């Protein structure tokens, strides 16, 4: 009886197991090697199932994966959003269900189009997955690329180097391609006694899989070797990590304490003579250029140290008689002059605006401001004496197409300022940092990151992380980076050509292969 029960539930156990393996692939577990086999249990569970049943199994995998991988959301909603834990878990469940829908659709279409045809599966699965992952990651202002498959390999440097051509979605493709090839080869080997021709098919699939994977790794290794032998001129960047608690940021009682904390850390960093000092997102507990006394304090600090300062500060202005708030970044010259301002373009749902506000009128933003934030319109390049920085604020670093715009506009390195205090001591801060590694490779520019509570640090153009701080500690880092000297990558110039090619092939193969069954 127990055997029959186990056999009956085996597909569900295998599907859940794939969800567990995918979770372990990402930070802070960082068992990225599991990504190369994580899909195999789900593929096995789907064997001989109907498309509808395959969709359910895929949904189960997704629910395990996303509920575990995004569990940090509960900390944010409960501790900072004031949401009851029951509602918090409900919100996480709804988000996980939405994201799991894409895995369910992947499994449904895979069975619908390919049925039991090995070659069809081998051709269709990788391009189908990239198409769906791209669509869920870039869908207007509600796109959410968190836990995209390619990010799991951020520490596997040879694997992520081809992203300069394909973007992170190419890394997702090679992972699905490898999983599919290994699974199909093993499946053919299992059935060789009943179908002799299956063994030959299995060897062919395995050979192609290993050949493509080897070419991918060789390219990646050669690119790593190239960058290690050709270092560009270095500049020094000071990164300030204030570790200011959320309740202190906008309480007038703590305003002087916060300002003095950043001043003291900046003076210490200035002793190492960096070329630029960076503060985190909304570092100033006031509206820069609106509060004259506090604004003069910042300008005088910059004049004192004679080092340019890039920092986050809220900004507001009247548009059509309505006061609009912006999450902004400013660059000051050595003389304290405002050189440029960048307004955040891609806002955080429920953090900086409430989607579907008329329906969700009972939900307030996490950020303490009146009304929704305004949106910037341009990927500004901040320039001072040859330093050309493209700036992103917080969440924006997870959007490849947005980040590449600044590089295309002439930035030779990227700056990400953020406040990850919302995440607490969870995997989220590590997941957030890991996505920056792919942005560096896609555009072949280094990235420096200043975070209020961490992780602050630098990312080389190869995606290698260095000089990272620990979470929830006050301090600073002075790190060296090598700004790009000339040229852009295929990805920074042309964007997601590879993803659109996968979408085209998905439609074409879906039509052609379905007709052949």
The residues assigned a catalytic role are: 281, 344, 394
Structure tokens at 90: 């409900």
Of 109, 103, 112, 74, which Cα lies nearest the Cα of 91? 74
* 484-504 core/surface letters (b: 16 or more CB in 10 A; e: else): beeebbebbeebbebbeebbe
**What is the Cα gyration radius of the chain?**
24
Q: What gap in Å lies between CA 440 and CA 435, rounded to an integer? A: 9
CA 100/CA 93 separation, integer angstroms: 10
Question: Which helix (H) or strand (E) is 275 found in, with range?
Answer: none
- Rounded to an integer, what distance in angstroms lies between the CA atom of residue 302 and that of residue 309? 7
Here the tokens at position 500 are 């659109």
Backbone conformation region of residue 419, classed left if phi is above 0, alpha if psi is from -120 to 50, else beta: beta
CB atoms under 10 Å from CB of 227, counted, come to 16
CA distances from 454 to 235, 249, 323, 472 (A): 22, 16, 32, 6
Distance CA 390, CA 406 (A): 5
- Taking the CA atoms of 454, 460, 463 and 467 in sequence, report the sign of the dihedral they define: negative
Query: Cα 259–375–275 angle (5° rounding)?
Result: 45
Residues 6 or more apart from 450 whose CB is under 8 A from it? 239, 240, 241, 278, 279, 280, 415, 416, 417, 418, 456
DSSP state string for 112-147: HHHTT-HHHHHHHHHHHHHHHHHHHHHSGGG---TT
Length of the chain: 517
Q: Which two tokens stand for residue 372?
A: 């929704």
Task: Report the distance separating Cα 348 and Cα 113, nearest Å.
Answer: 36
């Amino acid at each position: 009886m127990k055997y029959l029960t186990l056999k009956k539930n085996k597909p569900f156990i295998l599907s859940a197991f794939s969800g567990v393996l995918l979770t372990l692939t990402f930070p802070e577990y960082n068992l990225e090697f599991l990504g190369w086999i994580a899909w195999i249990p789900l593929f096995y569970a789907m064997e001989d199932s109907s498309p509808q049943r395959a969709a359910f199994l895929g949904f189960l995998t997704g629910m395990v994966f996303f509920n575990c991988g995004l569990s940090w959301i509960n900390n944010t909603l409960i501790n900072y959003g004031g949401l009851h834990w029951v509602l918090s878990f409900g919100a996480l469940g709804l988000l996980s269900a939405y994201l799991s829908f894409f895995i369910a659709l992947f499994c449904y279409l895979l069975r619908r189009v390919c049925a039991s045809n090995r070659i069809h599966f081998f051709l269709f699965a990788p391009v189908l997955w990239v198409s769906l992952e791209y669509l869920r990651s870039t869908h207007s202002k509600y796109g959410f690329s968190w836990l995209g498959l390619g990010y799991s390999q951020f520490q596997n440097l040879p694997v992520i180097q081809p992203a300069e051509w394909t973007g992170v979605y190419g890394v997702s493709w090679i992972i699905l391609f490898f999983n599919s090839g290994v699974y199909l080869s093993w499946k053919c080997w299992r059935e060789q006694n009943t179908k002799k021709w299956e063994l030959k098919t299995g060897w062919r699939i395995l050979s192609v899989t290993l050949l493509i994977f080897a070419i991918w790794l060789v390219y990646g290794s050669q690119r790593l070797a190239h960058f290690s032998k050709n270092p560009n001129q270095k500049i020094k960047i000071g990164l300030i990590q204030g570790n200011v608690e959320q309740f202190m940021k906008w309480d007038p009682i703590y305003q002087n304490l916060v300002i003095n904390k950043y001043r003291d850390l900046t003076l210490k960093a200035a002793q190492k003579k960096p070329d630029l000092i960076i503060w985190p997102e909304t570092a100033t507990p006031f509206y820069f250029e609106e509060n004259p006394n506090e604004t003069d304090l910042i300008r005088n600090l910059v004049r004192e140290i004679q080092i340019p300062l890039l920092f986050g500060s809220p900004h507001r202005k009247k548009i059509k008689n309505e006061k609009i708030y912006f999450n902004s970044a400013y660059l000051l010259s050595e003389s304290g002059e405002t050189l440029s301002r960048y307004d955040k373009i891609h806002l955080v749902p429920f953090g900086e605006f409430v989607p579907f506000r008329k329906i969700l009128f009972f939900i307030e933003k996490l950020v303490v401001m009146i009304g929704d934030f305004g949106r910037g319109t341009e990927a500004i390049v901040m320039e001072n004496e040859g330093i050309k920085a493209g700036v992103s604020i917080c969440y924006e670093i997870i959007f490849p197409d947005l980040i590449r715009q600044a590089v295309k506009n002439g930035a030779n390195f990227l700056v990400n300022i953020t406040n990850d205090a919302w995440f607490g001591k969870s995997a989220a801060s590590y997941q957030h940092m890991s996505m920056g590694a792919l942005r560096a490779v896609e555009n072949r520019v280094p990235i420096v990151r200043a975070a209020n509570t961490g992780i602050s640090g630098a990312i080389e153009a190869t995606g290698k992380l260095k000089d990272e701080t620990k979470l929830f500690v006050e301090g600073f880092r002075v790190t060296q980076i090598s700004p790009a000297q000339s040229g852009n990558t295929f990805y920074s110039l042309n964007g997601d050509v590879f993803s659109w090619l996968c979408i085209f092939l998905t439609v074409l193969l879906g039509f052609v292969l379905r007709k052949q069954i």
